[in-house]
Structure 1
Amino acid sequence: MIYKHSSKISFGRFSLARLTSRFAMLAIGAGVLAGAVATQPTYAKDNSAIVVELFTSQGCSSCPPADKLLGEMVGNPNIIALTEAVDYWDYLGWKDENARHEHTLRQQDYARLRGDRRVYTPQMVINGRVHVVGSRRNDVSRAIKRFEKDVSVPMRLEQNGDVLNVRIGARPQGMSKDHEGNLILAYYKREVSADIKRGENRGRKIIYHNVVGDMRTIGMWHGEAMNVELPMSEARKMGYDGYAVLLQADVKGYPGPIFGAARLDLK
C-alpha cells in the first residue's frame, strides 16, 4: 500500500515544512515462518509492556532532555522505549545520523489517524494512542499510567540459537473481538553515541538508547495464539543488538493502537 501526502504542520515554536512522500510497506524477509499453536501459552501479564516511541532529532535543541528521559526508561521491564529519529530537521545544519524517513512517515501517520496534525520533536507516542512532549517528565508519567491497567495480549521473545521465537498469546478475556492487528518487528541498537559538530546542538555529545534502524511487518494476528520464527543473522550483520515486536492495529492503512509488545536484548 502506498501513501502520498503533503501538509504543513506546526506545534508552538516548531514548524514542519511541506512534505510529499511515498511509502511502500517492507516485504516479509525470507525465512519467516508463522503458524498457530493449539493452546494459549501461560505468560505473566508483565510480559506485554507499554510502548513509548520517541520521535527525536540530533538537529533539535529541545530534544536532548527527552533523549535522556527515554534512556531512563530502558531498564523498566514494563516499558518498551524506542528512539525513532526523524529527518525533517536535517536542513538546520546537521544531518541526523540515526534518522530514517520511514520514522517521519510513521509520525505523520499517527497524527493523521488522530486527526490533530500534531507532528513535532521531541514527541513521545504512548501505545500508539496518545502523544506528549517528550521532555515533560510529569506529562510523560501521567500518559504512561493511563495504560497500566489496560488488558493486553501476552507476548514473549525468545532466542533459540540463531532463531528468534515470537510467541503471541490468544486474545485475553475482556478484550474486544475486534482487536486484530499486524506484528511489527523493530530492530534497534541499544546505545548510540553521537558527537554533533553542526546545527543547534553543535559541540554536544549525546547518547541515544534503543535506536530503531529498521521496522517491518512480519505477520498478522487474528486473536489466536501463534508462534513466529525469524532468522537472526540479518540483524546481526547490520549491527543490531535488540528486537522489539509490536502487536498493532491497522486502521485504514495507518498505525493504530498497540495492544501487545515484547522485546529482547541480545547478550
Structure 2
Amino acid sequence: MMLSRRALMRLVPAAVALGVGLASAVPGVAATGDSPVVVELFTSQGCSSCPPADKLLGELSANPNVIALTQAVDYWDYLGWKDENARKAHTVRQQNYARVRGDRRIYTPQMVINGRTHVVGSRRGEVERGLARGAKALSVIIKTETSRDALKISVAGSNSVDKRVRNSTLYLVPFKKSVSVAIKRGENRGRTVTYHNVVSGMRPIGMWHGDSIAVELPLAELQEHGFDGCAVLLQADLKGLPGPIHGAAMVSF
C-alpha cells in the first residue's frame, strides 16, 4: 500500500507525540524491532462491510512489525450463509473484550489492537491512527526459534508491567496464511474474498508472572494440521477475561 503525502502528514504528529518512528506505525511500511503491534480482525463472510477490512488486514500482514490475525465470528450465520472460518470461541473473545472495556461495542468489521482498543476495520484512517498509538506498547520481549522438530519460545522477565496484570497466559495461535472463499449466499454472494492469517483456535501453553519462562513444543503437531505459522501472544488474564497483550511474536513454518 502506498500512502498519500496528505495521509503521511496526518500521521506524523501522532507518531512524534508517541516517540516512535513513522515506519513502525504505518501499514505497508517495513519496520523492525522487538515490539510488534497485534491486530485482531473480527469479521464474517455474511457481513457486507467486511471485505474492505479483510483486504486491509492482508496489507497489514505484509508488515513485519504487525501481527495481523483474522478471527471470524459466527453471529452472522443466522442470515443463512455458514462462515466456515467462524468459531464460537472467536465470538466469545470479542464479547469478552467488550466486557473488559465496558462499552458493549461488538460489531464487524472490528479490529482490536494490542488487546486494548478497537477501531472500525474498514476505516483506513482509524486503523492507521490505532497502529500509531499501539506502536512500542508491548513491553515484554518474546523470542522464538524453530528446529527440525521443535518450536522454542522464550519470554523475557519484566518489572515494567503493572503487578495487577502480571498474571498472564502465554497463547499459541496457529493460523493458515491465506484462505480464499467463493461466497455463494448472503450479502456477499458472488464475491471471492481472501482472508489472511486465519485463526482456528488459541491454545494456552504457559503462565507468566513477571519472571522469564521458556516453552518447547513439538513442531510436527502443528505442521500436520496444515497450519502455515502461528502467533505467540502473552496476554493478561483478568479473572478469565482477556486483558492487555504484553508481548507477541510471529512464527512461519
TM (norm. structure 1) is: 0.80
Is the contact between residue 36 and residue 136 of structure 2 (CA under 8 Å) also seen in structure 1? no
Determine whether 1:83 maps to 2:55: no
TM-aligned CA deviation for residue 176 of structure 1: 3.2
1:214 aligns with one of 201, 209, 226: 201
The secondary structure found in structure 2 opposite 1:46 is coil
TM-aligned CA deviation for residue 150 of structure 1: 2.6
Is the contact between residue 92 and residue 199 of structure 1 (CA under 8 Å) also seen in structure 2? yes
Instruction: State the Cα RMSD in Å.
Output: 1.3
2:106 aligns with one of 119, 122, 128: 119
Structure ranking higher in strand proportion: 1
2:141 aligns with one of 139, 143, 154: 154
Structure 1 partner of 2:23 = none
Is the contact between residue 233 and residue 245 of structure 2 (CA under 8 Å) also seen in structure 1? yes
TM-aligned CA deviation for residue 93 of structure 1: 2.1
Amino acid at match of 2:149: D
1:35-74 matches, within 5 Å, as: 46-74=33-61
The secondary structure found in structure 2 opposite 1:228 is strand
Structure 2 partner of 1:168 = 155
Q: Which runs of 4+ in 1 moved over 4 A?
A: none
Report how many residues are paired.
221
1:142 aligns with one of 102, 114, 129: 129
The secondary structure found in structure 1 opposite 2:197 is strand
Output one character per residue of 1:49-102: Cα deviation in whole Å (capped at 9) or x when no partner.
110000000111100000000000112111100000000101112100101110
CA distance in 1, matches of 2:84, 2:136: 37
Structure ranking higher in helix proportion: 2
- For structure 1, the 5+ residue unaligned runs are 1-44
Amino acid at match of 1:89: W
Determine whether 1:200 maps to 2:213: no
CA distance in 2, matches of 1:253, 1:191: 31
Is the contact between residue 164 and residue 229 of structure 1 (CA under 8 Å) also seen in structure 2? yes
Amino acid at match of 2:243: G
Is the contact between residue 192 and residue 211 of structure 1 (CA under 8 Å) also seen in structure 2? yes
Structure 2 partner of 1:108 = 95
TM-aligned CA deviation for residue 177 of structure 1: 3.9
- For structure 2, the 5+ residue unaligned runs are 1-31
CA distance in 2, matches of 1:156, 1:254: 25
CA distance in 2, matches of 1:205, 1:151: 35
The secondary structure found in structure 1 opposite 2:127 is helix
1:235-246 matches, within 5 Å, as: 235-246=222-233
TM-aligned CA deviation for residue 179 of structure 1: 4.1
TM-aligned CA deviation for residue 152 of structure 1: 1.2
CA distance in 1, matches of 2:203, 2:150: 17
CA distance in 1, matches of 2:203, 2:223: 16
CA distance in 1, matches of 2:198, 2:240: 25
Change (3 A) 1:51 1:151: closer
Is the contact between residue 233 and residue 247 of structure 2 (CA under 8 Å) also seen in structure 1? yes
The secondary structure found in structure 1 opposite 2:200 is strand
1:99 aligns with one of 71, 86, 94: 86
Is the contact between residue 186 and residue 214 of structure 1 (CA under 8 Å) also seen in structure 2? yes
The secondary structure found in structure 1 opposite 2:33 is helix
Identity %: 62
The secondary structure found in structure 1 opposite 2:97 is helix
CA distance in 1, matches of 2:101, 2:121: 18
Change (3 A) 1:149 1:244: closer
TM-aligned CA deviation for residue 175 of structure 1: 3.7
TM (norm. structure 2) is: 0.84
